[in-house]
Amino acid sequence: MKHENWNDKDIADQKGKVVIVTGSSSGIGYEAARVLANKNAEVIIAVRDLDKGNAAEAKIVAQNKNAIIKVMKLDLADLASVKSFADEFKGRFSRLDRLINNAGVMIPPYSKTVDGFELQFGTNHLGHFALTSQLFALLAQTVEARVVNVSSGAHRIGKIAFDDLDWSKRGYSAWGAYGMSKIANLYFTYELDRRAKAAGMSLIANAAHPGWTATELQRNTLLARLGNYIFAQDVSMGALPTLRAAIDPHTQGSDYFGPSGLMEICGYPVKVSSNALSHDTEIAARLWEVSESLTGGEFAVTGKIAAASS
């Protein structure tokens, strides 16, 4: 497999693979789902709005009548919905090759999830933490399964305020909360990968960021919408770091992929570096424990070696 200008042509046939892409009715999630469906994977479009999910499915099938798509309801801002989705999925499938935790919210006005968490931290991190935990048995029994968490360059402004995760003790900063949720995605990725390796599992975890890609996420600020016209790359490019994190056979886990261009704004996907704070193992371990407590269940990574056929 070549490494220069990595793109969807570098993705081998995915027949027999089962893939979940959260938030895949639009943007880079939709593009990742479309590409993987065209590579013959069975793709689950996991979305809050079923009408939008069905429309996304129809678009993909219109381009490829052989695409295998299933739309399933998932609201990451509601832990009951996460459990319902996971239970339904486990009732239908006996393997999970790729879990792409892509969905997210970006710099909205202050609000809370159904369970009372600040919306961005609750959706972008805790919802995906709970989802991965509840699907982990399937991931563990699938040979060379992967979890991909979509982070952001905004992780560089993020810091986990363990004494004020809901922003009740300080003035709310939408960007600060977004940055906290995005560095949380990286702590989760690296800690999951460490624990899987320590348990002797074939599962690995990677992260990715799309650079500046024109998507619906930027709808909340005029500055971001203007930036789309000046800097943004198309979603077909913005989805490539996620796809490479999910597919590249050369990764050993704990890799972070992003665009190759100046300031990682645009370009073909390459391995990039997250900041030093994101690699703090003590913070990562503490966040794992706090996340278990907040989502109401132990996320045990045990030494069960994958037994399913690859």
Beta-bridged to residue 99, according to DSSP, are 20, 147
HEC profile of 22-33: ECCCCHHHHHHH
**Whole-Å CA distances, 291 to 20, 128, 203, 207, 305:** 22, 10, 21, 18, 25
DSSP 8-state class, residue 20: E
Domains present along the chain, CATH in parentheses: 8-295 (3.40.50.720)
In this prediction, residue 145 carries a pLDDT of: 98
Cβ proximity of 272 and 217 under 8 Å? no
Q: Note whether 119 and 103 are within 8 A (CB).
A: no
pLDDT of residue 213: 52
DSSP string of 89-115, one letter each residue: HHHH-S--SEEEE-----SPSS-B-TT
Q: Within its chain, how far is the Cα of 264 from the centroid? A: 18
Task: Identify the three-state secondary structure at position 301.
Answer: coil
The secondary structure of residue 125, as a DSSP letter, is: I
In this predicted structure, what is the pLDDT of residue 264?
79
Segment-wise mean pLDDT, segments of 10 residues, the chain, 310 residues: 78 98 97 98 98 98 98 98 98 98 96 98 98 97 98 97 97 97 98 97 97 56 49 84 97 96 87 98 98 94 53
Those residues whose C-beta lies under 8 Å from the C-beta of residue 16, and which sit 6 or more positions away, are none
SS3 state at 205: strand
Position 149 scores a pLDDT of 98
The pair of three-digit structure tokens given for residue 5, joined into one six-digit string: 């200008």
Active site residues: 178
C-alpha–C-alpha distance, residues 61 and 197, integer Å: 38
**Residues sharing a CB contact under 8 Å with residue 287, sequence separation 6 or more, in sequence order:** 160, 162, 184, 187, 188, 191
The predicted pLDDT at position 261 comes to 76
pLDDT at site 232:
61
Q: Check residue 304 and give its pLDDT.
A: 52
State residue 212's pLDDT score: 78
Strands (E), 163-248: 204-208
CA distance 292 to 288: 6
DSSP state of 74: -
